[in-house]
Amino acid sequence: MLTAKQHELIRFIQQRLGETGISPSFEEMKEALDLKSKSGVHRLISALEERGFIRRLPNRARALEVIKLPEDAVTAPAAAKVSVAAANDAVVSAHKAAPVAPDPANDVLQIPLHGRIAAGAPIEAIEGQSSMPVPAALLGPGDHYALEVSGDSMIEAGIFDGDFALVRRTETARDGEIVVALVDNEEATLKYLRREGAMVRLDPANGAYEPQVYEANRVQVQGKLAGLLRRYH
Active site residues: 153, 191
* Closest CA relative to residue 136, chosen from 109, 176, 96, 175: 109
**Positive or negative, the Cα torsion across 158, 159, 162, 168?**
positive
Contact 147, 117 (CB under 8 A): yes
Q: How far, CA to CA in Å, does 153 sit from each of 122, 226, 230?
A: 11, 18, 17
With 0-12 CB in 10 A as exposed, 13-18 as middle and 19+ as buried, what is 149? buried
Tell me the C-alpha distance between 118 and 124, whole Å: 8
Half-sphere exposure of 45 (CA within 13 A, CB side): 25
* Closest CA relative to residue 211, chosen from 197, 226, 193: 193
- Supply the DSSP symbol for 120: S
